[in-house]
Chains A and B, each alone.
Chain A
Amino acid sequence: MNVIESIGIHKTYTETAVPVHALRGVDLTVTEGEFTAIVGPSGSGKSTLLNIIGGLDQPSEGSIRVGGTDITHMKDSELIDFRLQNIGFVFQSYNLIPVLTAKENVAFIMLLQKKSKEEREERAMHLLKALGLEGRENNRPKELSGGQQQRVAVARALASKPKFILADEPTANLDSSSTANLLDIMAKMNQEEKITFVFSTHDQRVIDRAKRVVTLEDGVIKSDVSQEKISI
């Protein structure tokens, strides 16, 4: 089943004196259970593509379907709800809510989904445990290491039971050990629970673990390579 279908995506920023063509006709299909890395040099259009796939930005041309739903022309309020129900986000700088504990950060997404308190508590604890954060549930982000914070961010992304997780440079701020640990966890979830991951990354360690590597250059896909099965 196709989780993401982007057809002829163009994105041109016209706010600048000279229009910037960030994407020039990107066709990308991601199926369920993929572990895909989108790579490319700075300015290649990775983040723009991720933003469009994640419903945070709209293409200038082309269409985007997520889980069979065309989100190309969705209204802002519809997109917010769509993102909440269908897409999990992991950001480069963790982006946890600093005033909430790890557990509260994870439960917060489910609160937005209007899940019951019992379900929120249970799933938050389950995810934190699965991500090796047992005993850290009552710590606030500033009391956690970068790797731990990013694992909380992954738990938060998983909490809403999304169709896929978009991770924008998730390991950029992590050391080698934390990166390896995070990739192990995500790969395990991909393998065992068939969760679809789409990364944008510069990090060779992430690229090495991806099942599929899509390379963008100057807003077009230069290569789309499937790799060996990832190791857990």
Chain B
Amino acid sequence: MLFLIAWRNIWRSRSRSLVVMGAVTVGIVAVVFIIGFMNSYLDGFSANSVHYDFSHIQMHDSTYLEDEGIEYLIDDAESTIGQVASLPGVVGVSGRLRASGMMSSSGGASGVVIAGIDPEAENATTALGEKIKSGAYFEGIKRNPILVSRIVADKLGLKERSKVVLNFQDVEGNPVAASFRVVGTFSTASARFNQGWVFVRQSDLARLLGTDNQVHEVAIYLESNALLEANTAELRADFPDYASQTWIERAPAIAQVEEQTSASLGIIVGIVMLALVFGIINTMLMAVLERVHELGMLMAVGMTRRRVFAMIMLETFMLSLMGAPFGILIGTGLITYLGRVGIDFSAQADALEQFGFDAIFYPSLNPEDMITVAVAIMITALVGSIFPARRAVKLKPVEALRHV
């Protein structure tokens, strides 16, 4: 009967209860939307970082990691890459030669990381070929083609077929200067690539560096993060002389961003829920204050304070939770729809690209998110119910009965 009383009490002030339910619904829609949007933000950020930049796993000579010295190479690259490619769930493996140098043109000079790649393997690994903004992906220029980022191209005034000169050191420490011709420009979701990487054919760079069937770096792109640990462990076992690192180890900043974003999400959800809590407390306090006389009567005739507490808690819970299904339903529907059509930020595409984001965000929800929402609602209802319920049980029957 306590349940019945609580339920009917909610509807004593229908409009007030509907307003609270509406507020809860809107609050939950907001929370679900924020979670969905943050998911797309995080997924986009980490997925882009993995796909277009770091790949899932990178392998280097152990010493190379200390100072990226050009002489620290992975030998027998062809065989090593072939062995790596045979691991389960490997989508692409790209062996890279890397050199730090200066790129000059008639428009100026810029410090760059020169990556010597196998275009086909690199495209399978970082989808670089899909990110060409002008020109072609290593097509149309036979001798020393170079792919530069749009940002660097704009900075140095480079166009397709522009001539540039690269200055760097070979593996013996000798200075090397070579001219290349711009075959195309790219713009990826990797801020690192966009800001200062240029790509040349591995064979061209190997000739200039003086390497033979050697690479500095092997980047491995997997089907999913689920394969990360197992494949890294296998690589470490198979190639004990080389350092195999996951993208989390290689780029801890990404994991930190994820952690910070999750923390921010928690704070935002907390603020929304706090606002709801105050709304619920306000409503229930009004309900309690309007019923002081009645609550006094209930305690006078023998209703224990525990039962009064439970009744007010029940009322608050019902009031809070009735709006929840609508909020979850609308929120989930909204995210499903937006997840399909995306939220277009094309107007800010350039700025987003700088930070490794695509221009279109696709919100999504995971089952764990719904648990988070459910827990948040329960906590909101619980916190919102305690204060009014405590207020109710603090009433003294003899004084409450005098209350008009």
Interface pair A83/B300, CB less than 8 Å apart: yes
A232 at the binding interface (Cβ < 8 Å): no
Which partner residue on chain A sits nearest B307 by CB separation?
A112
User: Which residues of chain A come closer than 8 Å to B301, judged between CB atoms?
Assistant: 83-84, 89, 109, 112, 156
Q: How many residues of B contact A (CB 8 A)?
A: 21
Stretch at the interface among B5-13, B121-129, B375-383: B5-13
Q: Are A100 and B294 in contact (CB under 8 A)?
A: no
CB neighbors of A among B283-320 (8 A): 293-294, 297-305, 307
With the chains together, A108 CA to B1 CA distance in Å? 8
| Residue in B5, B303, B307 whose Cβ sees the most chain A Cβ within 10 Å | B303
Contact across chains for A56 and B304 when beta carbons are under 8 A apart = no
Closest to A58 in B: B398
CA gap between A145 and B64 in the complex, in Å: 93
Residue among A81, A111, A160 making CB contact with B304, cutoff 8 Å: A81
Q: Are A97 and B300 in contact (CB under 8 A)?
A: no
Chain B residues near A95 (CB-CB < 8 A): 293-294, 297, 401
CB–CB B1/A91 < 8 A: no
- Cα A98 to Cα B297 in complex, Å, equals 12
Which A residues touch B307, using CB under 8 A? 112
Q: Is B397 an interface position by the 8 A CB rule?
A: yes
Report A66-84 CB contacts with B as 1/0, cut-off 8 Å.
0000000000110011011
Task: Specify which of A80, A91, A98, A104 is in contact with B299 (CB 8 Å cutoff).
Answer: A80
The proximity string for B residues 1-30 relative to A, scoring 1 for CB distances below 8 Å and 0 otherwise, is 100110011001000000000000000000
B340 smallest CB distance to A (angstroms): 45
A137: CB under 8 A from chain B? Answer: no
Q: B302, B304, B401: which has the most chain A beta carbons within 10 Å?
A: B302
Q: Mark B369-404, 1 if CB is under 8 A from A, else 0.
A: 000000000000000000000000000011001000
Nearest first, the 4 A-B pairs at minimum CB distance are: A84-B302, A99-B8, A95-B297, A56-B398
Given contact pairs A100-B5, A109-B302, A156-B301, a sample of 19 additional A-B residue pairs in the complex whose CB atoms are under 8 Å apart: A51-B398, A56-B397, A77-B305, A83-B300, A89-B300, A91-B297, A91-B401, A95-B294, A95-B297, A99-B8, A99-B9, A100-B1, A100-B4, A108-B1, A109-B301, A112-B302, A112-B303, A112-B307, A113-B302
Task: Identify 22 residue pairs between A and B in the complex whose beta-carbon atoms are under 8 Å apart, listed by A's number.
Answer: A54-B300, A56-B398, A80-B302, A80-B303, A80-B304, A83-B300, A83-B302, A84-B303, A93-B293, A95-B293, A97-B5, A97-B294, A98-B12, A99-B5, A100-B4, A104-B4, A108-B1, A111-B1, A112-B301, A112-B303, A113-B302, A160-B302
